[in-house]
Amino acid sequence: DAKTTQPPSMDCAEGRAANLPCNHSTISGNEYVYWYRQIHSQGPQYIIHGLKNNETNEMASLIITEDRKSSTLILPHATLRDTAVYYCIVRSRSNDYKLSFGAGTTVTVRA
């Protein structure tokens, strides 16, 4: 019952922007898009979340399409330490405590 689709892997050059796509075509009006990452079997780390507006924080930017059926996480200047599995998660904020992790995108940043 995956709610999101992500490419299994992608490479990125160090210092360049990394653009990670996510499809969530069945997202409903009260569901938010969250991004987490997991560096080499460490605990997942929150990156950013959004509903319909674009969001930016110190780690990344989140661009959500107007129809909300897809989004892109942007790491503006990827470093080797950004190599990780990135998870796009759709979650309702009205009645859903859990985070449902999919397989994510394995991002490898290369020097």
Partner 1 sequence: EPEVTQTPSHQVTQMGQEVILRCVPISNHLYFYWYRQILGQKVEFLVSFYNNEISEKSEIFDDQFSVERPDGSNFTLKIRSTKLEDSAMYFCASSESGILNPEAFFGQGTRLTVV
Minimum CB separation of residue 32 from partner 1 in Å reads: 7
Q: Which is nearer to partner 1, 13 or 39 (CB)?
A: 39
103 is a contact residue toward partner 1 (CB under 8 A): yes
The DSSP code sequence of the chain is ----B--SEEEEETTS-EEEEEE-TT--TTEEEEEEEESTTS--EEEEEESSS-EE-SS-EEEE-TTSSEEEEEETT--GGG-EEEEEEEEETTT---------EEEEEE-
Site map for partner 1, 4-43, x if CB under 8 A?
A: ----------------------------x-x---x--xxx
Shortest Cβ 14–partner 1 spacing (Å) = 25
Binding region for partner 1 (CB under 8 A):
32, 34, 38, 41-46, 49, 87, 91, 93-103
